[in-house]
Amino acid sequence: ARIRHYKWNVKYEFRSPDCFKKLVMTINGKTPGPTIQAQEGDTVIVQVNNSLVTENLAIHWHGIRQIGTPWFDGTEGVTQCPILPGETFTYQFVVDRPGTYLYHAHYGMQRESGLYGLIRVAPLEPEPFAYDLDRSIILNDWYHKSTYEQVAGLSAIPFQWVGEPQSLLIHGKGRFNCSESPSLSTAVCDTSNPECSPFVQTVIPGKTYRLRIASLTALSALSFQIEGHNMTVVEADGHYVEPFVVKNLFIYSGETYSVIVKTDEEPSRNYWITSNVVSRNRTTPAGLGIFNYYPNHPKRSPPTVPPSPPAWDDVEPRLAQSLAIKAHQKYIHKPPTTSDRVIVLLNTQNNISGYRHWSVNNVSLTQPHTPYLIALKENITGAFDRISPPDGYDFTEYDIFNVSGNANATSGNGIYRLKFNTTVDIILQNANTMNVNNSETHPWHLHGHDFWVLGYGKGKWDVKNDTKKYNLENPIMKNTVPVHPFGWTALRFRTDNPGVWAFHCHIESHFYMGMGVVFEEGIQRVGNLPSSIMGCSHTKPFHTP
Ligand code: C2O
Ligand code: CU
């Protein structure tokens, strides 16, 4: 195993990823940031210099379990104090499994300012599929308003929703139609700016490609497509999938997939790469890129109109694709057949003292300023509420199909304390929002673990009937999973990684509005915390410069 050393400088720069000029966060001048490339078992060291001048920072390594290094998970308020402007912080962790992972900022809503990128971990053993060339594409959605304006609106009375994104980016490139906003001068919005020329993936005809597709959208669920080409799904969140073929890949924020694509179409032309919003009534135009068959000119537009996306409100194909993702038959890790604890998490939207929130079992998460990991390990009292939130909701009374007042909803920072080395089931239960006949899609991401995806269902999860239908034979392991509108998703995991771990909706504004919980397991087994993660709030006395 090797050591991979990276030195990153994070700062704000003016960029026009979709022709509209705004401040974006860059790493060494780039957004998306540099790809971390390593091999299974390597140690990755990233020295991060915060040059944002007036803004804190933390970087999360999404999908890396941080076994033995829970303090380098990069989750501000949970595992570390923020990196202050002008300071340098060094992350060090082992990438213990091959596959496709992500990194992104994890302080406030700053992920959507552009600080994100890929981690590619090569395997030591051969993989269950073959390909000639390996390429990566990160999908994103893009807002023109700064995260500050968005945060101010979300925390205002009356509530101001962030709205739909202005454009969709394919590997950092999109296109906003500047003429739609005639008040914008060409200094601000200029469609002739080469920065916002479409993303081009050049391919050689007659080859087999592995495409790693990842989503780090702030809000949108996406449908990704390459015109005229089928995709065979072979990897999901770092786990091998029993291969299946799709035309559209539905992908939710925080997920990664590898698909195999053969470049065996008519080679005298180019093809469209498209991403489209699903699950919300789309007003954002499609993200368009070019699948460029060499030696055609990379900028030559395909002679066809881009393929039309699936209906935004049709849940069935999305549910079907979720259900189709199973562990590869040669790589099945069977889950324990029973669990020691079942936690049902009801996802609701509600008003708390006039403010709009998202809540889980009627508690909206507010993160404390003393990171949980430090408070628990160093026995700091008064840092957060030691009473845990509930393990379920009023199952008999609660109507998930109608708008509910949720009058008992509160804000809090209590956490779930899980017994070490036990099996825990989590049921994510979706419900109606505050608008009639409306339920959203929420991609939930668990830090520090992979979980088995035991099942998805419609309506209210019910312990008697639904547990019988769990897939205990070949469930896929993932770290991010959608809960579909008016449905439920059941997960199982082992509490075998000492630390404190966030579990939250990966929609940036939803997490900001409280849609998350925190798990602690095996805190006594956590090794000595590095002093570099301390210095804020109650942890000041523990910080030795
Ligand atoms: Cu990718 Cu806590 O997030
Ligand atoms: Cu959500």
Residue 543: predicted pLDDT = 84
The single residue listed with the structure tokens 């790469």 is 273
Q: How far is the CA of 271 from the CAs of 180, 208, 278, 289, in angstroms?
A: 26, 16, 22, 9
Enter the ipTM. 0.98
Same domain assignment for residues 481 and 496: yes
Same domain assignment for residues 311 and 360: no
Same domain assignment for residues 163 and 86: no
Same domain assignment for residues 113 and 133: no
Ligand in closest contact with the CA of 440 = 2
Q: Is the Cβ atom of 111 under 6 angstroms away from ligand 1?
A: no
Do 523 and 529 contact (CB within 8 A), yes or no?
no
- What is the rounded distance in angstroms from the CA atom of residue 235 to the CA atom of residue 501? 24
Residue 153: predicted pLDDT = 98
The confidence band for 180, taking pLDDT boundaries of 50, 70 and 90, is confident
Same domain assignment for residues 153 and 18: no
Give yes or no for residue 544 having a pLDDT over 80: no
**Is position 336 within any domain?**
no
Same domain assignment for residues 393 and 524: yes
**Is position 135 within any domain?**
yes
Among 70, 50, 74, 45, which residue's Cα sits nearest to residue 62? Answer: 74
CA 7 / ligand 2 centre spacing (Å): 33
Same domain assignment for residues 400 and 304: no
Domain boundary among 303, 328, 353: 328
How many alpha carbons fall within 13 Å on the CB side of residue 252?
24
Same domain assignment for residues 354 and 401: yes
CA 442 / ligand 2 centre spacing (Å): 4
Q: Is the Cβ atom of 478 under 6 angstroms away from ligand 1?
A: no
Q: Is the Cβ atom of 506 under 6 angstroms away from ligand 1?
A: yes
**Is position 334 within any domain?**
no
Q: What atom in ligand 1 is closest to the CA of residue 516? A: 2
Q: Is the Cβ atom of 62 under 6 angstroms away from ligand 1?
A: yes
Do 468 and 481 contact (CB within 8 A), yes or no?
no
3-state secondary structure of 390: coil
Burial of 475 (0-12, 13-18, 19+ CB in 10 A): buried
**Is position 319 within any domain?**
yes
Q: Looking at ligand 1, which residue's alpha carbon is closest to its atom 1? A: 62
**Secondary structure of 16-66 in HEC code, one letter for each residue:** CCCCECEEEEEECCECCCCCEEEECCCEEEEEEEECCCCCCECEEEECCCC
Q: What atom in ligand 1 is closest to the CA of residue 62? A: 1
3-state secondary structure of 537: helix
Q: Where are the beta strands (DSSP E) in 216-286?
A: 221-226, 231-236, 239-246, 248-251, 256-262, 271-278
Q: What atom in ligand 1 is closest to the CA of residue 480? A: 1
Question: In CATH, what number is assigned to the domain containing residue 49?
Answer: 2.60.40.420
**Is position 253 within any domain?**
yes
**Is position 134 within any domain?**
yes
Report residue 67: phi and psi, to 5°.
-70, 120
Residue 52: predicted pLDDT = 97
Is the overall model pTM greater than 0.90, yes or no?
Answer: yes
**Is position 335 within any domain?**
no
Same domain assignment for residues 294 and 353: no
Q: Write the DSSP assignment of 413-459 as a string of letters.
A: ---EEEPTT-EEEEEEE----SSTT----EEEEETT--EEEEEEEES
Same domain assignment for residues 154 and 181: yes
Domain boundary among 328, 351, 369: 328
Alpha-carbon radius of gyration of the chain: 22
**Is position 333 within any domain?**
no
Domain boundary among 328, 353, 375: 328
Helix (H) / strand (E) element for 463: namely helix 463-466
pLDDT in tens, 186-210: 999 999 999 999 999 999 999 999 9
- In the chain, the number of structural domains is 3
Distance of CA 386 to the CA centre of its chain: 28
CA 62 / ligand 1 centre spacing (Å): 6
Same domain assignment for residues 180 and 284: yes
Domain range for 135 is: 128-328
- What is the rounded distance in angstroms from the CA atom of residue 452 to the CA atom of residue 239? 11
Same domain assignment for residues 254 and 358: no
pLDDT in tens, 136-163: 999 999 999 999 999 999 999 999 999 9
Ligand in closest contact with the CA of 439 = 2
